Amino acid sequence: MTYILASGSPRRREICALAGIPVEIHPAPEGAEPALTAALPPEQTAILSARAKAEAVAAAHPDRTVIGADTSVWLGDAPLGKPRDEAEAARMLRALSGRSHRVITGVWVCGPDGCDGFADAAEVTFYPLTREEIAAYIATGEPMDKAGAYGIQGKGMALVRGIAGDFYTVMGLPGARLLRFLRKFEKC
């Protein structure tokens, strides 16, 4: 079965390919997911966002199985979204410097016979970062479209001291867990 991935993320597409999950790409419409809020637990927020994306695409493909995903970065109780500009990226990276934070990817799958989802979390610890390191990383442009202002699969790897949890959750999609989760939708 070929699934629909409700995401235009090249990282999620790559993870699906690595996990052997065949997908067609149909990104969710812009603004389909709700805004991040500290009012709900981070896992619930991630699932709600993934659900909104999956349901938006599934409405146009009711006979197919659609995978939605959303990744968020949390420093304590504060969500760190995608930076609006370089100054905000620098503030985020300074806040993450030398500290641990949580990365949560919510997944929601909608099939013809039902929907279900899960959230997967990992803890990431950064090295202490100098102003020069932060400025050099921002100059690459990489932080600008990433939650928390970094991409672990790219040049941002140099910022990371360690990970407790699934690397692919931090990258944007827990591929092994998703592969096992999809088994309940295979009869569709």
Rg over alpha carbons for the chain, rounded to the nearest Å, is 16
> CA-CA distances (angstroms) from residue 41 to 26, 47, 139, 141?
28, 10, 33, 30
Instruction: Give all strands (DSSP E) within 60-138, no chain letters.
Output: 66-75, 78-80, 100-111, 114-126
Q: Which of 70, 77, 116, 145 is catalytic?
A: 70
Exposure pattern of 74-101 as b/e (b: 16+ CB <10 Å)?
Answer: beeeebbeebeeeebbbebbebbbeeeb
Which strand (E) or helix (H) includes residue 173?
A: none
- Maximum pairwise Cα distance, the chain: 53
> What sign has the CA pseudo-torsion 94, 97, 99, 104?
positive
Q: Which of 81, 87, 94, 51 is nearest to 69 (CA)?
A: 51
77 is catalytic: no
- Mind telling me the catalytic residues? 70
